A and B are shown apart, each in its own frame.
Chain A
Amino acid sequence: MQKTLTKKEYQKYVDEKSPNSKLLRNMIRAFIVGGLICIVGQFITNLLKMRGLGQDETAGITSLLMILFGALLTGLNVYDDIGRFAGAGSIVPITGFANSIVSPAMEFKSEGYIMGVGAKMFVIAGPVLVYGISTSVIAGIIHFMLI
């Protein structure tokens, strides 16, 4: 009799069989690609600092450019190819944040420019802003009470 596995059992079976080295391999890939993306950021930062820009302007322009690169590479369908190799290495940097905006927006363009592009841009960016800003407000209130 053919043994049928439930989805859960199958997942367990796969987990047992897949060697731990797979995690290590993925971690190394994420480390290298993520590190390289940060080197690009550091290059922009160093360049702007050399031109005599202040700390805040440098940080602002660096994230602006990194977001632009992430959005463009997503539009050109390059970023997803990087992502298949890099995993978290391409998700965690701010270029991945731009990717998370452009990718669903492009995909749902057929639903129109308001509810398609306009709304789907925030499928992932929305939660990020909600939790990021809310945490900073709470931290700010606590900071106010402590100083």
Chain B
Amino acid sequence: MGENILTYINAFIVGGIICAIGQILIDKTKLTTARILVIFVTAGAILGSLGIYQKLVDIGGAGATVPLTGFGYNLVKGTFKDVESTGLLGAFTGGVKAAATGITAAIFFGYLTSVAFRPKAKR
């Protein structure tokens, strides 16, 4: 049980820090949402390929995998896994394979909710 609570604290701190970094980027550079998300997914992929992000995942758990940097990390992790088992072709199969659940869920649930709900009038 005590160990369980620790996972929540670690997730909160690591996830919180990653989001606070995003906030610095927004406030200091006036970056748009699209640019922030692209920077984060790319940063996650680069840090993932250098083996740095894995350490963050080991510490923070969902605190590192839930932010979009974790999506980039997951893409690279899957790519490396397939490259190691099938060679160069793996560079083209592993990433999307590992991210399949996330991509499909985002498209499917995104479409359904967009169709089902109406936007609130702009305040």
A binding-site residues for B, Cβ under 8 Å: 22-23, 26-39, 41-46, 56, 59-64, 66-68, 71-72, 74-77, 80, 86-89, 91-98, 100-103, 105-107, 109, 113, 117-118, 121, 123-125, 127-129, 131-133, 135-137, 139-144, 147
CB distance from B41 to the nearest CB of A (A): 4
Which 9 A-B residue pairings sit nearest by Cβ, starting from the closest?
A: A34-B19, A38-B15, A140-B91, A35-B16, A88-B22, A75-B117, A41-B62, A105-B114, A101-B110
Q: How far is the CA of A133 from the CA of B109 in the complex (A)?
A: 21
Given that A36-B12, A131-B42, A136-B95 are contacting pairs, would A143 and B66 also be in contact in the complex, using a CB cutoff of 8 Å?
Answer: no
Q: Which of B12, B24, B36, B113 contacts A75 (CB 8 A)?
A: B113
CA–CA, A60 to B102, complex, Å? 7
- Cα A140 to Cα B97 with chains together (Å): 13
Q: Kindly provide the distance from the CB of A117 to the nearest chain B CB, expressed in whole angstroms.
A: 5
| Secondary structure class of chain B's binding surface, majority of residues | helix
Q: A34-B20, A60-B102 are in contact. List 14 more A-B contacts (CB 8 A).
A: A30-B20, A35-B19, A43-B8, A46-B4, A63-B102, A68-B105, A75-B114, A88-B25, A128-B71, A133-B75, A135-B42, A135-B76, A139-B79, A140-B91
CB-defined contacts of B119 to chain A, threshold 8 Å: 77, 103, 106-107, 109
Contact of A124 among B37, B92, B105 (CB under 8 A): B37
- Given A26-B27, A77-B120, A132-B45, A106:B114 Cβ within 8 A: yes
Q: Is the CB of B23 within 8 A of A38?
A: no
Q: Which of A33, A61, A67, A107 contacts B106 (CB 8 A)?
A: A67
Report the Cα distance A144→B61, complex, angstroms: 28
A135 near B23: Cβ-Cβ < 8 Å:
no
CB-CB nearest in chain B for A20: B27
Q: In the complex, which residues of chain A have a beta carbon less than 8 angstroms from the beta carbon of B60?
A: 38
Q: How far is the CB of A30 from chain B (nearest CB, A)?
A: 4
A23 engages B118 (CB within 8 Å): no
